[in-house]
Amino acid sequence: MCSSSIAMMVTESLEQTVDGQSTKDKVDDDFHPNFASCSVEQLLSIPVQYIFQKTASSGKYIFSKSEVSTLLRVSMLASELDAILSLTYDALDRSHKCKIHQKYIEDANKHPKSSNDYVRGVSFRALLPILSVHLETADDALKHATSDSFGVTRIIGELQSLSADLEKFSAMNYTMSEQLGSQDVTGISDDKAHIAEIEEVVVERIESLSQLTTGITSNQMNDDFTSMEDLCQQLFSTKQQPQPEVEEKGADYTESQMVAVDALQMMHGDQN
């Protein structure tokens, strides 16, 4: 008999009713979370097309090199945290199912309700060591997921460090947007205000995640979840796609204004 047939027989037998309730019903509680729709990556990661977006006037990137490096690191950590959370769920699910099957086999051997239960209990007694191995594997996975050097604690710590940098970037972008103000005719002021708001949101969400890991309830994140991609689309929806070159005809700004804008850009780059 092939191994697949044996595995099928084991599954069907373990799902037989015991005391009027199926072990499958005990194991499967209709809890199948969709991590793709509620992932940390959706919460924190700014899409690459916005990170490398350019201004419509000069064709320069709206994010500085330091900002790009920080935001990409946040995206990597968010993806890593999603993987660890998925690993934790799988380990908990495996541990839960193994414990239920283990208890069923032990009860069938100790207190058989019928001759069929007795035969089934004796037949599956050899599965107890295998279930124990799966339980140990699940426990090891949980230890790795919660360890300080590998798990959630390390990732949250790194995110908090990056959050401090993003908070500084946000303040500088708000300042630059205010300095340009209504005199800006190139759209850089609006770009800086948008990316400052995006960075501020990332900082707030990292702080909320940090509070959740310590058991503190946060009021910063409401029930209306908005992914970073949707937020970026909302902020840049009225902005035209940047052109690689600026046409000379129809330009409504002077040369002195462009020199002032370039000077502010250089000052901002030196601060980073």
267 confidence band (pLDDT: 50, 70, 90)? low
Q: What average pLDDT score do residues 24-53 get?
A: 71
| pLDDT tens readout for residues 9-27 | 445 555 554 444 454 554 4
- Residue 256 burial (CB count, 10 A): 8
Q: Whole-number mean pLDDT of the chain?
A: 75
Strand partners, 18: 21
Percent of the chain with pLDDT over 90: 20
In this structure, are residues 142 and 152 in contact, taking their beta carbons and an 8 Å threshold? no
Reading the block at residue 159, the tokens are: 């995110």
Percent of the chain with pLDDT over 70: 65
Q: What average pLDDT score do residues 15-44 get?
A: 58
pTM greater than 0.75? no
- At which residue do the structure tokens 């019928």 appear? 114
179 confidence band (pLDDT: 50, 70, 90)? confident
